[in-house]
């Protein structure tokens, strides 16, 4: 059974919220790709639409939009998702995961694209989550 941590960003306020989803709610994410929009029902945002912006697997490998499917792939990167060079011209071979969500993904990053007052919809009082 799939289980994910979903990090939801509210671009209007700059806040982020984390929710753990499993069961039927997690199944709504399976097979979706980076850039897909889905209803926010799975994370408690019934009046909102969210867009999948990325994620990572259980070992911390990032998902990349330019790698198809769910596979792992080694890429020689000059920067971008998965590698931040520390000097000019630096390149590094990095293992990344494809853009499709499957059971191996541990965290999904999403952004709210439609709807108002995300904090109130999630029942947040503005305090820090622990």
Domain positions in the chain:
3-116
Which two three-digit tokens encode residue 38? 């889905």
pLDDT band at 48 (very low <50, low <70, confident <90, very high): confident
Per the CB < 8 A criterion, the answer to whether 45 and 112 are in contact is: yes
Average pLDDT estimate for 11-21: 89
Alpha helices in 12-126 (DSSP H): 24-27, 118-121
pLDDT per position as a tens digit, 54-89: 999 999 999 999 999 999 999 999 988 888 999 999
Give the SS3 label for residue 119: helix
Average pLDDT estimate for 8-13: 88
DSSP state of 63: B
């Amino acid at each position: 059974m799939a289980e994910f941590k979903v990090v939801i960003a509210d671009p209007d306020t700059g806040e982020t919220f984390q929710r753990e989803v499993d069961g039927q709610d997690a199944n709504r994410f399976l097979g979706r790709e980076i850039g897909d929009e889905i209803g926010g029902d799975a994370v408690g945002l019934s009046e909102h639409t969210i867009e999948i912006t990325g994620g990572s697997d259980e070992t911390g490998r990032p998902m990349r939009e330019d790698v198809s499917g769910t596979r792992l792939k080694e890429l020689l990167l000059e920067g971008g998702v998965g590698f931040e060079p520390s000097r000019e011209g630096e390149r590094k071979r990095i293992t990344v995961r494809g853009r499709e969500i499957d059971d191996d993904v541990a965290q999904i990053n999403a952004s709210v694209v439609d709807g108002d007052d995300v904090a109130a919809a999630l029942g947040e009082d503005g305090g820090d989550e622990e």
